[in-house]
Amino acid sequence: MRNIKLTLQYDGSKYKGWQKQKEEDNTIQGKLEALLSKMTEEEIQVHGCGRTDAGVHALNYVANFQTTKDLAPGYILDYCYKYLPQDIQVTEVKEVPLKFHARYNAKSKTYVYSIYNNKHRDVFNLKHCTHVEEPLNIDAMREATKYLIGTHDFQSFTTLKSKTKSTVRTINSIEFTKEGDYINISYTGDGFLMNMVRIITGTLIEVGLGIITPEEVEVIRDKKERKYAKAVAEAKGLFLKEVNY
């Protein structure tokens, strides 16, 4: 048995997210498994580093699968390039030890959220950023992040409904960069809950617009109830940038 690690990028605009669904093959995992199963003539199960929502993109997503076939990494790479849809591309293929698991071995992940902050939208980037018309106060948004960095219970910032799974996570850093009218918010942490980055981003946008104060973010965090963080940023502005092992 061999264990193959894939690094890939994808535009999630027209897909239902990463995870394969019972009656829906329009997912990244579904497309990969169908192709790799055909290539190997085996039933392939692909393990991803995490679940990205419908419409979310990835720059360096990591996955792995096991196969008995003696196919060279270069052959797998070329096969994927030839037969995958153009908005999904495998950029690297490596054979790794059998114990490697794309999800369980991940130590941290970095997501980037892109905002276009201008009165008029950018017609050439409609699928890859969120348009915010009113000027954003980045200093206030940055001030609010001090209540989010560190280890906290992020129950207010997730749509996860499980009563048994922990909602405690560690955010190592939240950084802002601005290039012209584009504002990128970079989040690095040990893991992120369902919709967590989008809800935090929506909350920070509310801070930037003056709808809530930076200090109210701490109050929302400590309430530990989803209803207090009402804003959810659009999926299309979110990218999985990097996974560290």
Q: Which of 21, 55, 227 shows the shortest CA–CA distance to 129?
A: 55
DSSP letter, residue 106: -
Residues 6+ apart with CB under 8 A from 201: 113, 185, 233, 237, 238
Alpha-carbon span 95 to 73, nearest angstrom = 7
Is residue 46 within 8 Å of residue 90, measured between CB atoms?
A: no
Q: Is 170 helix (H, G, I), strand (E, B) or coil?
A: strand
Q: How do strand 182-189 and strand 238-244 relate by DSSP bridges?
A: unpaired
Q: Which of 27, 24, 8, 25 shows the shortest CA–CA distance to 16?
A: 27
Active site residue 11: no
Q: Which residue has the tokens 């059998």?
A: 98
Q: Which of 238, 239, 1, 3 shows the shortest CA–CA distance to 104?
A: 3
| Catalytic, out of 11, 25, 53, 222 | 53
Q: Is 34 helix (H, G, I), strand (E, B) or coil?
A: helix
Instruction: Give catalytic residues, as residue numbers.
Output: 53
